[in-house]
């Protein structure tokens, strides 16, 4: 969410993040939207309980994109204002297995279909409990979902101490030509998600996990093809851990492994290449580092 970059000191608080998330037109970044919605649903579940988000699962607007007389009556006299303000935001979006069937249906029909589908209980709790869908319904649901996102992606304390240690922590863009030897990553930002870190090995695994949850199909294809860096000779992502010097499994029981033997600069090279495979712009990733003493 680009608006967060303009907050004081360039580092948003959890409240800044939550407030921005509720207003952000999430649907306009479909990959991020689907990732966040699936993370809300699966965030606190173990691997076996998670709902797999495949290409058959689509994003659904509860108040639909097409304006109809039914929905004008449903939402009320401020329909046009609500439509412009909330249509593509978190509070009005969910996941479904039959988007084309729901489309512009009245809320009561959508509600029945959502209840029958029954998969996304966390996402759809508010919808099932609502008699009508209007501004108040959207705002209350956005509050609840944004709170869940912030619980999952709470910012590390070092982020809030940024101003105090700003001479020690540096923001590194992936295209910067900087030697990261004798540095330690503190946290990173990928597609608006801030994640704390303990090491460069931790960085490569967490970035790979996010990409896997966002687009498991692409990650599976890379593994099946024993993916290598452009102009590289050694396998970096595979289903066969024996092909790697130090195999790190992406998520639990995924059967996808990445090469873990990398120095700081090699990690950044890997991330730069894999972001391209997922069609993610380089400026959607930054890492924050601090120097460590040369022992």
Cβ contact 188:211 at 8 Å: no
Residue 48 lies in a domain: yes
- Total domains present in the chain: 2
Q: Once rounded to an integer, what is the mean pLDDT over residues 122-132?
A: 89
Domain boundaries, position 246: 169-291
Per-range mean pLDDT, top range of 11-15, 147-151, 263-267, 291-295: 263-267
Neighbours of 264 (CB within 10 A): 21
* pLDDT tens digits for range 143-167: 999 988 888 776 555 544 444 344 4
Same-domain pairing of 147 and 224? no
φ, ψ (nearest 5 deg) of residue 197: -135, 160
Last residue of a domain, which of 124, 157, 190? 157
State the pairing for strand pair 227-228/235-238.
antiparallel
Same-domain pairing of 192 and 272? yes
Same-domain pairing of 202 and 151? no
Same-domain pairing of 34 and 146? yes
Residue 260 lies in a domain: yes
Last residue of a domain, which of 157, 187, 204? 157
For residue 253, the number of C-alpha atoms closer than 13 Å in the C-beta half-sphere is 5
Query: What is residue 110's three-state secondary structure?
Result: helix
Cα distances (angstroms) measured from residue 92 to each of 112, 116, 176, 189, 266:
17, 19, 38, 25, 41
The model carries a pTM of: 0.53
Cβ-based neighbours of 15, under 8 Å, separated by 6 or more: none
Same-domain pairing of 68 and 173? no
Residue 8 lies in a domain: no
Residue 29 lies in a domain: yes
Neighbours of 204 (CB within 10 A): 23
Higher pLDDT, 273 or 294: 273
Same-domain pairing of 83 and 132? yes
Cβ contact 257:239 at 8 Å: yes
Strand-pair partners of 190: 193, 285
Q: Tokens at residue 37, please?
A: 């919605």
Instruction: Give the rounded distance of the alpha carbon of 158 from its chain centre.
Output: 21
Question: Over pLDDT 70: what percentage of the chain?
Answer: 83
Same-domain pairing of 145 and 23? yes
């Amino acid at each position: 969410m680009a608006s967060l970059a303009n907050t004081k000191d360039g580092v948003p608080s959890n409240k800044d993040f939550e407030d921005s998330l509720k207003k952000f037109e999430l649907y306009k970044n479909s990959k991020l939207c689907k990732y966040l919605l699936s993370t809300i649903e699966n965030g606190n579940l173990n691997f076996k309980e998670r709902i797999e988000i495949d290409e058959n699962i689509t994003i659904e607007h509860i108040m639909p994109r097409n304006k109809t007389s039914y929905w004008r009556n449903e939402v009320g006299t401020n329909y046009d204002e609500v439509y412009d303000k909330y249509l593509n935001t978190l509070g009005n979006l969910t996941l479904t297995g039959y988007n084309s069937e729901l489309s512009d249906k009245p809320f009561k029909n959508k509600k029945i279909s959502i209840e029958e589908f029954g998969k996304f209980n966390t996402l759809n709790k508010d919808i099932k409990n609502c008699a009508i869908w209007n501004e108040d319904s959207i705002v209350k649901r956005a509050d609840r979902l944004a709170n869940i996102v912030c619980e999952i992606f709470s910012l590390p304390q070092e982020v809030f101490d940024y101003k105090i240690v700003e001479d020690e922590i540096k923001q590194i863009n992936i295209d910067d030509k900087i030697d990261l030897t004798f540095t330690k990553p503190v946290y990173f930002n990928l597609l608006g998600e801030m994640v704390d870190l303990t090491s460069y090995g931790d960085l490569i695994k967490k970035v790979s996990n996010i990409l896997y949850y966002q687009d498991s199909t692409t990650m599976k294809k890379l593994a099946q093809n024993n993916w290598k860096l452009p102009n590289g000779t050694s396998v970096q992502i595979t289903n066969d851990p024996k092909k790697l010097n130090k195999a790190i499994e992406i998520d639990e029981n995924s059967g996808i492994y990445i090469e873990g033997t990398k120095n700081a600069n090699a990690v950044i090279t890997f991330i730069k290449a894999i972001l391209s495979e997922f069609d993610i712009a380089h400026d959607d990733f930054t890492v924050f580092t601090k120097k460590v003493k040369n022992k």
